[in-house]
C-alpha cells in the first residue's frame, strides 16, 4: 500500500501482467508477483467487482483465488436469498462462512446479520479479506485461520448459527478442476452431518456443471435450488437446505440481466407435464441458460403454451409471438438447403450467425460446409425435428 507501489500499479495498469513478471523480480523491495497480482486483480475486478474496483485501497489475491470468487452480482443475489429467510431479517442473526476465501460472499452476507464468522485456512488470504472488509466498512466479522473441519471440531467454538454458508473449492490438490461434491475441499458430503449440529440451515454453492439431481441425492434437507446465470451465462448453483422443511425442493432458474427473470418449477411437475411436438412455425424460442440447466424442458412448454421441436432439441415454436418468453426469440423467414446459391440469396455478404441444436454438424463444421462467414444480422439455425432436420433462416427479435 506504499505510495511508490501504488504509483507503479497506476503507471503499469495497461501492461501485460505476464511481461511484468518476466521483467521484474522485485518492485520497491516487494516480490514482483505480489505487485503484479494487484495489477491483474484490478483489471479483473473492473467488471467482476465494480464497487471494490472503485476503492484504491483494496488488495487483490493471486489470480486463481480471484477467479474462484463470486462476482459482485451473484454475491448480491445471495444476500437477497439470505435476507429473506425467517429469522435473518431481524438483524440479530449469526452466520458462518466455512470457506471464506477472498471474502466477496462474506462481505455481502455480512450485511444481513449481526455477526458473521469467517473461516479460512490460508492465512495470507484471510489477512487480505480482513483488510478489504475493513476498507469497505464491514465491522461485524470475526476471523478464524482454520479449515472448516478444524473450526467445527474445536471445542473453543461451541456456537450455533442461523445459517452456514459453504463454497467448497473445486480444485484438486494437483490443480485440476473437479465437480463432484465429494471431490471438493472440504468434502461437504462427509461434513454435512457435523454442520447440522451447529445450524438448521445451510446454503451450498457449487459448480454450474454439477448435475442438479445428483446434488439433491447427496445433500440433506434441500428445500430450494437456485440456478444462477448472469447475462445468460450459468455461473453457479445454490442449494438451500433446512432441517425443518419437509416439502419437495423447488428449482428456481434465475437470469440476472438488465431485466431479471425468474422461473420456478419442481421435478415432479416436470415429469407429468405434457408436450406437443411440431416442425418450426412462425417463431422459434430458446430458453435462457438457467432454464436449460435446470431441466425444465417440458414445464416451459406447458407454461407458455409452445410446441417443442424434438425431445432432445431444446427449441420451441409457436404461430403467435410470446412476448414474455424467458430467452431468445427468433422469427422464421425461410427454410433452406446448404447450397451456396440459395444461401447467398438469404444472407447479405454471405454472412450469418450460426446456431446448431441437436444437429449432426457443429457450428464450425456447418460453417465450413456452407462457407458462410461469421456476422451479419440474420441467424441460420440448424436443428432436428421429430421427422427431419432443418436449416432455418431467422431474424432475432430479442
Q: Given this model, what pLDDT does residue 174 score?
A: 62
pLDDT at 175: 64
Would the CATH topology of 3-67 be identical to that of 70-265? no
Q: Facing residues of 354 across strands?
A: 380
Q: What is the per-residue pLDDT for 126?
A: 97
Average pLDDT by consecutive 10-residue portion of the chain (398 residues)?
A: 82 86 86 88 92 90 88 96 84 92 96 95 96 94 96 81 93 70 91 95 96 96 98 97 94 95 97 97 98 98 98 98 96 94 93 97 96 96 97 96
**Tally of CA atoms within 13 A in the half-sphere of 308 that contains its CB:** 20
Distance CA 121, CA 146 (A): 4
Q: Which pLDDT score, from 0 to 100, does residue 272 have?
A: 97
CATH 3.40.50 fits 275-396, yes or no: no
Q: Topology of 3-67 in CATH?
A: Arc Repressor Mutant, subunit A (1.10.10)
Domain ranges of the chain: 3-67, 70-265, 275-396
Contact 261, 254 (CB under 8 A): yes
Asked if 59 and 34 count as a contact pair (C-beta separation under 8 A), the reply is: no
CATH level 2 (architecture), domain 70-265: 3-Layer(aba) Sandwich (3.40)
* pLDDT on residue 182: 87
Which grid coordinates are listed for 274? 405434457
**Residue 358 to residues 14, 118, 275, 388: CA-CA distances in angstroms?**
43, 45, 18, 11
The Cα-based distances of 397 to 2, 304, 321, 323, 332 in angstroms read 52, 17, 10, 10, 10
* pLDDT attached to residue 9: 83
Amino acid at each position: 500500500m506504499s505510495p511508490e507501489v501504488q504509483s507503479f500499479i497506476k503507471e503499469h495498469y495497461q501492461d501485460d501482467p505476464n511481461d511484468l513478471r518476466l521483467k521484474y523480480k522485485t518492485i520497491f523491495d516487494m516480490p514482483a508477483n505480489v505487485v503484479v497480482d494487484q495489477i491483474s486483480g484490478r483489471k479483473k475486478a473492473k467488471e467482476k467487482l465494480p464497487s471494490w474496483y472503485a476503492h484504491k485501497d483494496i488488495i487483490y489475491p493471486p489470480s486463481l483465488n480471484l477467479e474462484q470468487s463470486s462476482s459482485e452480482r451473484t454475491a448480491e443475489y445471495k444476500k437477497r436469498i439470505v435476507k429473506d429467510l425467517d429469522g435473518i431479517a431481524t438483524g440479530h442473526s449469526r452466520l458462518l462462512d466455512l470457506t471464506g476465501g477472498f471474502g466477496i460472499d462474506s462481505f455481502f452476507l455480512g450485511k444481513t446479520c449481526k455477526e458473521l464468522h469467517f473461516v479460512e485456512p490460508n492465512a495470507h488470504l484471510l489477512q487480505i479479506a480482513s483488510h478489504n472488509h475493513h476498507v469497505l466498512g464491514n465491522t461485524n466479522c470475526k476471523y478464524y485461520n482454520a479449515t472448516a473441519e478444524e473450526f467445527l471440531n474445536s471445542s473453543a467454538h461451541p456456537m450455533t448459527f442461523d445459517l452456514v454458508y459453504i463454497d467448497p473449492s473445486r480444485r484438486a490438490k494437483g490443480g485440476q478442476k473437479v465437480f463432484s461434491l465429494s471431490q471438493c475441499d472440504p468434502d461437504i458430503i462427509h461434513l454435512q452431518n457435523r454442520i447440522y449440529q451447529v445450524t438448521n440451515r445451510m446454503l451450498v454453492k457449487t459448480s454450474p456443471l454439477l448435475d442438479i439431481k445428483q446434488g439433491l441425492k447427496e445433500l440433506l434437507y434441500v428445500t430450494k435450488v437456485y440456478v444462477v446465470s448472469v447475462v445468460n451465462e450459468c455461473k453457479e448453483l445454490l442449494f438451500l437446505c433446512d432441517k425443518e422443511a419437509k416439502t419437495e425442493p423447488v428449482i428456481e432458474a434465475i437470469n440476472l440481466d438488465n431485466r431479471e427473470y425468474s422461473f420456478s418449477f419442481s421435478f415432479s411437475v416436470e415429469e407429468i407435464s405434457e408436450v406437443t411436438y411440431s416442425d418450426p412455425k412462425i417463431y422459434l424460442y430458446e430458453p435462457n441458460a438457467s432454464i436449460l440447466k435446470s431441466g425444465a424442458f417440458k414445464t416451459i412448454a406447458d407454461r407458455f403454451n409452445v410446441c417443442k421441436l424434438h425431445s432432445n432439441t431444446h427449441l420451441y415454436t409457436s404461430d403467435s409471438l410470446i412476448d414474455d418468453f424467458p430467452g431468445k426469440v427468433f422469427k422464421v423467414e425461410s427454410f433452406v438447403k446448404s447450397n451456396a446459391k440459395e444461401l447467398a440469396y438469404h444472407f447479405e455478404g454471405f454472412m450469418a450467425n450460426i446456431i446448431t441444436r441437436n444437429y449432426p454438424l457443429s457450428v464450425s463444421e456447418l460453417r465450413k460446409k456452407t462457407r458462410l462467414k461469421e456476422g451479419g444480422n440474420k441467424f441460420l439455425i440448424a436443428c432436428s425435428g421429430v421427422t427431419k432436420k432443418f436449416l432455418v433462416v431467422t431474424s432475432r427479435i430479442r
